[in-house]
Amino acid sequence: MDIYQALRDYQEVITRGDYLVLKAPVRTRFVGRFFRFENQEAMKANLAKAPQFQWSEEEDVSLIIKHHFNRKLGQDAFTLEVTSQGEIIIESQNLRGFGYAQEALEKIMTVQRDRLYLPIVSVKHCPSFEMRGIIEGFYGKPWTREERMDCLHFIADKGMNTYMYAPKDDDYQRRNWRELYPEDWMDYFKELAQVSRERHLDFWYMISPGLDFDYTKEEDYELLYRKLQQLLDLGICHFGLLLDDIDYHIMGAVERRFGKTAYAQAHLATAIYDFLGQQHANPELVVCPTEYDNHHDSLYLAELSEAIPKEVAFFWTGPSTLASQIAQSDIETMAAIYKRPMIIWDNIPVNDYQKDPERLFLTPFANRSPFLSQPDYQVKGIVSNPMISWELSKLTLTDMSRYLWDAKRYQPSMSWKETLKDYAGSEEMAELLGRFAWYNGNRHLHRDIPFEVEEALVNKDTEKLSTWMADLAELIDCLQGFDNPRFQEAMAPWFERAKADQALWQAILDGNPKAVELYQNLQEGQPRIGTNIPSHYYRLHCSQEVTDLSGFGQVSEARAEDYA
Residues labelled catalytic: 245
For residues 434 and 424, give the distance between their C-alpha atoms in angstroms, rounded to a whole number: 10
Measure the CA dihedral 457/461/463/468, to 10°: -20
Long-range contacts (CB closer than 8 Å, 24 or more residues apart) made by 396-399: 396/348, 396/349, 396/361, 396/362, 396/363, 396/364, 396/365, 396/442, 397/134, 397/154, 397/158, 397/349, 398/158, 398/422, 398/423, 399/364, 399/365
Give me the long-range contacts of 220-225 (CB less than 8 A, separation at least 24): 220/178, 221/268, 221/271, 223/178, 224/177, 224/178, 224/272, 225/272, 225/275
Q: Cβ distance 529 to 501 under 8 Å? A: yes
Q: Check: CB of residue 203 under 8 Å from CB of residue 165.
A: yes
- What DSSP assignment string belongs to 301-357? HHHHHHHS-TTSEEEE--SSTT-S-B-HHHHHHHHHHH-S-EEEEE--S---STTGG
Residue 381, number of CB atoms within 10 A of its CB: 24
